[in-house]
Structure 1
């Protein structure tokens, strides 16, 4: 059917047809060749017609051509990355606070949690029983024989009123000392002042600072972080509630850090072949100074014990681990060796951390020899249930004052005995 075409008026433009214009215009009949004359068709003149619609999903296969012989490509050697230093990686306990773990660490956590989940409630139940029976909570009336009774001494009372310890406790800095007192009274049946005292050859020394305005010195006021680290250390069962054992490890940490060559007096209540040999070697040195570091003498004693067919005790192994973790200071140590007329070892914050690190260290069998310190601390805090003494600022100041006055009097008496 032929469409109707309207007649065109002369002088008017041609009317555009409806719809879109042709993409390819029709050829002009006048320019077209006669049908009788064939056109020369060659492969070069053939142009592939573009197909309508989307292109093929599966393209046509390429013509089969011989593949060139492939030589095996050797992988380049893996070189250590220059921008990655594993020594700068944060330890797991710091990444735990930030919530950053590797995939392997997360899987290890899941597996270990499954292994611990069945046992931790039993551990908590046993811990509660021990704390209630063996380490029962104390009241102030139970402190007779643990904390010294009131001593009437006007001069010591005046010294206490003017002491920096009294000033520090009277301010807001009593909370962490109070927490350490709670743990120490219940676990050791003594005060922290009875552990770090010149009577046990220990004094507190501030951590050295790079600033010349804060020189290193022995301070009567213990730092807040020192109190917190001491609380974690006090809760560990490795000490068996014996203040002399804990004091021995603190002394050894200072000896290794300062390379102290004085003759070391180890506690005699530890029955161990290693310590027996170590004491004998120290006695042979007479008044000193020792020809070799104490940690080397300990290694020799352990080697002799092994050759004699004896086993090493947990304390000797822990002491060897502690000695291997501490680097001696360069040059001559400036830490004091005498305080209030008695020979002492000055304990710093880093010494406490090294003892904690030694407890948490992996042993020769590829596993820890002791329960991690953070776990024992959290377990103790969750199982103690009761609010132990001291409770509040008034009680901690009162108990601190009694123990402080007793320590000062006992130190003066010891110095007087040595002078006779």
Structure 2
């Protein structure tokens, strides 16, 4: 062909041997990546995927130091998640801000491509942080954990529907940028990256460049799997939550109640059930509208949640009624919790149509095994005590007197 440069023939045997070695390396890399993918495919949680990735890369590719960093899109930073090969306490808790446009880690996330950096020469928060993390590393491979099947975008802080296709197409909002930085970009909510993997100190017989291909395969597959797991968690959470108040729904409450009953019977434990109702809620709905009633329900639910432990289960039982499961709590402890909740709710004030409206709660407590060992009976007893208190309030009576009890 005219103008074409003729290829120089390779020495005899060198071309075939070189091609064979390249193919052999490619097959070995694919097998290593496939083994790691098989391991992470067995996990059912994002945390499990991260741990399996760390272990697989460390064992399968023989890297001395492996770090997995979670991308916090809302705060625009990388947070150290899991590691292997670092001294205890050196990796955990590390946070690297993404506020420098010249930082190589920003390039990784913008282009969603792996790179190799020299932390001793590069500038920016990530190389500086890595130098403090591991002073001896001369080359570090940084691979994004990304769902390659989904596209995302970066936008400046003033991103609007007119200049963001993801607004127009999906109605999604970008995360707002922090006010403390002049770096004027945000992550679109549809951005497909979940974090990065960092590796250094490869085996003596390999270069770090040789493993970018299997690492990229593993991280791309992990990105797809993580998206499915996060979506599953979101769907599961929606299925057990009341959409208005964020409290658990009745189905989940009864499921947890049955489990707690079995546990208490087996171990000789105790628990309390509390039923609570917002006083004069119907009048609020009738006088100020259902949107006002929704505001009351959300605030009351939030206040109740602030007064209970993480192990307690708050449920919107129906309408303006809430149910509360208090594991490992006797009747005295249950009364303490109830008084604390009532006091907190009574401090709420709402402004509807220019009028100040105060709310209060009525409630009843039943305890296992003191009151009954039957779930239906326990709920009925708590419900009856709650309505007795409501009637007493309507007759102008006083609530249960305060007592100096302590939660067991």
State TM-score, norm by structure 1: 0.25
| Structure with bigger RCO (C-alpha 8 Å, 6+ apart) | 1
Larger Rg: 1
State TM-score, norm by structure 2: 0.25
